[in-house]
Structure 1
Amino acid sequence: MVDDAAVRRLALALPEVEDRSEGDRVAFEVRGGKGIAWTYLVRAAPKKPRVPQPDVLAVRCALERKEMLVAAAPDRFFDDDHYRGFPAVLVRLPQVDEVELAALLRAAWRLSAPRALLGRLADD
């Protein structure tokens, strides 16, 4: 299980990641640009505003990888109508460990970081 403190520590360990969290929502982006991970907002009822679901993190990823993750481990990863076709996978934090989340965040960072930063992340 991964908690908010671990999410924050793992995200901020990446080069030039900024914490844009507010209230009960976490959000991280690279150098003021694209977000790499943020709290999932669920619509509890039709025509009602979305509300934070703190045990689910949206993590940017390639669509092909998203499909693979959801198919291979639906207990840990999922999609919904709002995110369908969007390059982010929904991660059930109680079901993943820090190693798995760190790998997802590193991949999200690589997709989002400006080209000039890419050399700053050591290869796994």
Structure 2
Amino acid sequence: MPHVTVEYGPQENPIYQVGRKSFIFFRTPRPDAVDPDTGDRYPDVIVIWVPSESDKLALVQDQESPWFSTTHFDGHSSVLVRAGRLGELRLDELREVVQDAWLSRASATRAERWLAENRL
């Protein structure tokens, strides 16, 4: 995606931004995303912005899918996925979610230009 920069968080976790707005970041382990069997914090959670609450709900409603959320992200336009489960997603599905994340955070001018250039 154009105009993407990568910043790094306090534990060198990558944060992908467009126009200094984050749209994907690799989260550090936190107590709200844990293995239900062991209680261990997931070390590989990725936060991805979504355009709307309805987009978020469409992704997380299937309990078997890799997409999820936690109460920490209630009201936040993002979904979570573990890096270890990305292989369960189709490439076109992952591509669409990443593109939508970028579009939801890019300026209107950048988004319109990218959509026109890609005939979407």
TM-score, structure 1 normalization: 0.71
- Trace 1:112-123 onto structure 2 (pairs within 5 A): 112-118=105-111, 119-121=113-115, 122-123=118-119
Maintained 8 Å contact 1:38/1:59: yes
Q: CA deviation at 1:39?
A: 1.5
Tell me what 2:62 maps to: 72
Inter-CA distance 70–123: structure 2 relative to 1 (3 Å threshold): farther
- Give ranges in structure 1 of 5+ residues lacking alignment: 1-13, 46-51
Tell me what 1:86 maps to: 76
Q: Which has the higher contact order (CA 8 A, sep 6+)?
A: 1
Maintained 8 Å contact 1:40/1:53: no
Q: CA deviation at 1:54?
A: 4.3
d(CA) in 2 for partners of 1:111, 1:87: 9
1:36 aligns with 2:61: no
Per residue, is there more strand in 1 or in 2? 1
Larger Rg: 2
Q: Report the secondary structure of 2:65's partner residue.
A: coil
Q: Report the secondary structure of 1:37's partner residue.
A: strand
Deviations 1:48-101 (A, max 9, x none): xxxx95421100002111111111354301111110110000012222244433
Aligned-CA RMSD value: 2.3
- Give ranges in structure 2 of 5+ residues lacking alignment: 33-40
TM-score, structure 2 normalization: 0.73
| Counterpart code for 2:70 | D
Inter-CA distance 123–90: structure 2 relative to 1 (3 Å threshold): farther
Aligned partner (choices 10, 13, 30) of residue 25 of structure 1: 13
Q: Report the secondary structure of 2:84's partner residue.
A: helix
| Counterpart code for 1:27 | I
d(CA) in 2 for partners of 1:94, 1:27: 18
Maintained 8 Å contact 2:29/2:45: no
